Amino acid sequence: MFIEQEYYLWKLTYDLVVAQDFQVLNMSTERGEVWLEKEHDWQTHVIRLSHKQINWKNELRRDLEKSYRQLSQNKKIFRGGKVQFHALYVSEYPPVEEWENVENDIPSSQKNPIFLYYMDDENKTLEKKKLYDAFQLEQPLIDQQISEIEMEAMLPYLKHQLVKKQQDQRRQVMSIFDYGKPRMTYFLLAVNVFIFLYIEWVGDSTSVETLIQYGAKFNPAIMDGEWWRIATSMFLHIGFLHLFMNMFALYYLGTAVEKLYGTWRFTWTYLLSGLFGGMASFMLNPHVAAGASGAIFGLFGALLFFGVQHKQLFFRTMGWNLIFIVIINISFGLLVPQIDNGAHIGGMIGGFFATSVVRMPKQRDRSKQLIAFVIYLLLISGMAVTGYMGLFNDEEGLSEVQETQELNQSGDYDEVIEITSKALEEPGKYEAALLFNRSFAYLQKDETSAAKKDLLRVLELSPEMAEAHYNLALLYQQVGEEEKAADHAERAADINPDQNDFKELFDNLR
């Protein structure tokens, strides 16, 4: 009878929602139709339960097609990947025709499979078992031996409880995004801006020498024991644009992550991500580096961890947009050499593992947290050893080349000679550049014999360096060896004909 089928529908729905923690997508108590959702075995499952009598196979097929179109129109459900669609009918009698394989007639059912459960009076127990077995759940006992009056009395309670549960689920979802307040985000913004302004006041944030002095990532100094630079470098920025872009990202990502995780989890993730990204930069990038981007990319990692824990919610809110932004940023970093992509990717990986240690609020799994912490320590230790050994970063000397170029410009020639002389003990492939910078310093100090020796060695290593030929021509001109000066001036002009200084010197000497 009608009341028995309605009671069975709402009693079954009550168990799935209240006892088995299915999420209510949509519910109509008037039409006797409910849409539920559950994550199971890393896939999204959607169940449509309805109470209706269907008499013919074609009628069942049309109703299935209509339901499937409704599901397909909700694109957000599909964002998490393949959806398993379960269509459940509660009815007194089955269709009069053969209907068991009607779901196979639905177009595109191979892409998002359809599972049909037709619960007529003879098959309710069997179909219910098939449904619960699909989710590896224990079956409830639905008592149908009670009177119709008792069933009718129970229905308002069941519907009311389901409506209340739906409202609770919605409030719970909203509370996930508003767990904490972004206090630390604002504090970090202020700290980064203050440090930038201070460095601009005492020096120049785009100066390599100033950056090194105030704690930038400088591989030679780190290898000499100044490991603290891995931490301090995340609070320095190279120029206003660099600061603006990072603080813009920190504001939007930081507020989102701190609201999700709370202040202390956010702080933990930010700092450990910055350390991880800095160590990845030390391992992979020989340049002097600074910036909060490693820590900021760690916030991407925290949001990706949220996606692992709440896949459905993740893909319905920020999911694909976040993944798209990450891909764009990493691709841009790979295409632009000046960007420290090692710090970016390292920070994101570090952020994922750092968040795995603290997990989401009100989530605890001691064994998984310990494993994540051990993995983090092993990875960061491995990067430290690898960076120190130079297995992936064999460009020793590049940092000293950058530093001494700037020191030459500022007139610190004695320091240039000291730094390059030490770096030339193990110069790697930057021997010519280091020698050239030292020769320039020697020339400015009128130590011509030392400058000449360095420049001749430079041309042995790099015969096509026009600047070395030009400086050697000037040196020979200074000591009165006009013929040698003309030869090198000619060579410099041939290598770089667009440089007017080279051509003018050659014209004067010939």
DSSP 8-state symbol, 131? H
Q: Report residue 141's pLDDT band, with 50, 70 and 90 as the boundaries.
A: low
Q: Report residue 358's pLDDT band, with 50, 70 and 90 as the boundaries.
A: very high
Q: Which residues contact 36 (CB under 8 A, 6 or more apart)?
A: 13, 16, 17, 22, 23, 24, 25, 46, 47, 48, 49
Length of the chain: 510
In tens, the pLDDT along 147-204 reads 778 888 888 888 888 888 888 877 877 777 778 889 999 999 999 999 999 999 998 8
Whether 116 and 210 share a structural domain: no
Whether 22 and 109 share a structural domain: yes
pLDDT at 337 over 70: no
Q: Of 24-28, 145-149, 395-399, 410-414, which range is least confident? A: 395-399
Report pLDDT for 307.
85
> How many Å apart are CA 486 and CA 499, to the nearest integer?
16
Whether 200 and 92 share a structural domain: no
The dihedral built from the CA positions of residue 255, 174, 318 and 42, taken in this order, carries a sign that is positive
User: Does 476 or 316 have the greater pLDDT score?
Assistant: 476
Average pLDDT for 135-143 = 76
Asked if residues 492 and 466 have their Cβ atoms less than 8 Å apart, the reply is: yes
CB contact burial 175-187 (16+ within 10 A = b; e otherwise): ebeebbebebbee
Whether 155 and 49 share a structural domain: yes
Whether 131 and 199 share a structural domain: no
User: Does 486 or 100 have the greater pLDDT score?
Assistant: 486
Whether 286 and 161 share a structural domain: no
The dihedral built from the CA positions of residue 53, 58, 63 and 68, taken in this order, carries a sign that is positive
Per the prediction, the chain carries an average pLDDT of: 82
Domain limit, last residue, from 389, 414, 445: 389
Report pLDDT for 488.
81
Whether 25 and 157 share a structural domain: yes
Q: Of 206-220, 283-297, 311-325, 473-487, which range is least confident? A: 311-325
DSSP 8-state symbol, 391? S
CB contact burial 266-299 (16+ within 10 A = b; e otherwise): bbbbbbbbbbbbbbbbbbbbbbbbbbbbbbbbbb
pLDDT at 279 over 90: yes
CATH of the domain at 461: 1.25.40.10
Report pLDDT for 111.
62
Domain limit, last residue, from 176, 200, 229: 176
pLDDT at 373 over 90: yes
Domain limit, last residue, from 160, 176, 192: 176
Whether 34 and 12 share a structural domain: yes
Report pLDDT for 227.
93
CA distances to 44, 60, 68, 503 from 107, rounded to whole Å, are: 20, 15, 9, 76
Whether 358 and 307 share a structural domain: yes
Q: What angle do CA 190, 196, 202 make, to 5 degrees?
A: 135
State both tokens at 280.
Answer: 């990845």
pLDDT at 71 over 80: no
What pTM did the predictor assign?
Answer: 0.68
Centre a 10 Å sphere on the Cβ of residue 194 and count the other Cβ atoms it contains: 11
Whether 218 and 366 share a structural domain: yes
User: Does 401 or 22 have the greater pLDDT score?
Assistant: 22
Strands (E), 175-334: none
Whether 49 and 117 share a structural domain: yes
> How many Å apart are CA 5 and CA 51, to the nearest integer?
7
> How many Å apart are CA 216 and CA 233, to the nearest integer?
4
Whether 212 and 228 share a structural domain: yes
User: Does 103 or 336 have the greater pLDDT score?
Assistant: 103
Report pLDDT for 105.
64
User: Does 295 or 68 have the greater pLDDT score?
Assistant: 295
Average pLDDT for 405-425 = 81
Q: 83-90 and 114-119: which strand pairing?
A: parallel
Report pLDDT for 398.
67
Q: What is the distance of C-alpha 158 from the center of its chain?
A: 44
Q: Report residue 392's pLDDT band, with 50, 70 and 90 as the boundaries.
A: low
Task: Please give the positions annotated as active site.
Answer: 293, 344
> How many Å apart are CA 409 and CA 199, to the nearest integer?
19
Domain that holds residue 216: 183-389
- In three-state secondary structure terms, 447 is coil
State both tokens at 400.
Answer: 């000293």
What's the domain count of the chain? 3
CATH of the domain at 282: 1.20.1540.10
Report pLDDT for 250.
93
CA distances to 68, 69, 89, 187 from 73, rounded to whole Å, are: 9, 6, 21, 44
